[in-house]
Homo-oligomer: A and B are copies of this chain.
Amino acid sequence: MPAVPAGEPGRNGDAPEAVRAKSIPEAAVARLAVYLRVLSGMSEQGATTVSSEELSQAAGVNSAKLRKDLSYLGSYGTRGVGYEVGVLVSQIERILGLTRQHKVAVVGIGNLGHALANYGGFPGRGFPVEALFDLDADLIGVPVGGLPVSHMDDIPRICAERGISIGVIATPPTAAQSVCDRLVAGGVQCILNFAPVVLQVPAHIEVRKVDLAVELQILSFHVARRADDAAGNQGNSGLPGAVVPAENGNGRRNGTGPDGGRGMVVRS
């Protein structure tokens, strides 16, 4: 995605496809991460091969979609048999760029930030937390999860020094944009934003947001809609029928989407 100077993002008449090669769909990337987790679990349980049917069941998607997604990796399956778990894991890790580490900085050591910091290195390794920041004087210097908290003013310097590539914003909404700017100044390339604000960033910075309020409101919408359906409710709607994978609609895009609530979190 060639960065667009300003104004409306990506506004070009026809765009002669520029340089972009094959490029794998955003939606597929998100699912690959899920497949990876499922595959890791299977691997730990000793499985060596899986069929698209099995894997798709476990991941909660249909098999056609799964195969299409995996096809973006290349052809690593064996017709009539299935896929080798180990191969799939490697290939997905390769595509997702998990073969190298991505240093993380957590800003805002409140409830959520604290939880994240205590994580002591994010999911499945590969995302070591290497810097913590806050404004609270009482927190500066205090080790959280083994790492001392630094002052937000030092974000640019410290991020640059330590080669942080991902910044996690877990501050109150009012501080978020300022923190974001400093992270960018520090050379951070991606931001995971838990604050309920729409961040303004240069085109080359990737932002993803997690917003509790938005999630709850979307659920609220569905509850409401269900109530409306109180009409032609033929067939089997509320009947405790078969149980199937959630298969909901979290295919979030990132950008401007849902933001929301207040901030907290974490768990493993």
Copies in the complex: 2
Query: How would residues 1 to 20 of chain A score, 1 for a CB under 8 Å from any chain B CB and 0 otherwise?
Result: 01111111100000000110
Whether A245 sits at the interface, judged by CB under 8 Å, is yes
Shortest CB–CB separation between residue A18 and chain B, in angstroms? Answer: 8
Whether A71 sits at the interface, judged by CB under 8 Å, is no
Known contacts: A33-B217, A111-B265, A198-B38. The answer to whether A165 contacts B255 by CB under 8 A is: no
User: Residues of B contacting A192 with CB < 8 Å?
Assistant: 212, 215-216, 219
Contact of A198 among B59, B104, B200, B264 (CB under 8 A): B59
Shortest CB–CB separation between residue A72 and chain B, in angstroms? Answer: 11
- Contact at A262–B122, with CB atoms within 8 Å? yes
- Contact at A249–B253, with CB atoms within 8 Å? yes
User: Residues of B contacting A254 with CB < 8 Å?
Assistant: 218, 246-251
Q: Please report the C-alpha to C-alpha distance between residue A100 and residue B217 in the assembled complex, in whole angstroms.
A: 11
Q: Please report the C-alpha to C-alpha distance between residue A118 and residue B8 in the assembled complex, in whole angstroms.
A: 40
Whether A235 sits at the interface, judged by CB under 8 Å, is yes
For this complex, 5 residue pairs linking A to B, each with C-beta atoms less than 8 Å apart, are A34-B259, A127-B220, A194-B267, A199-B246, A262-B268
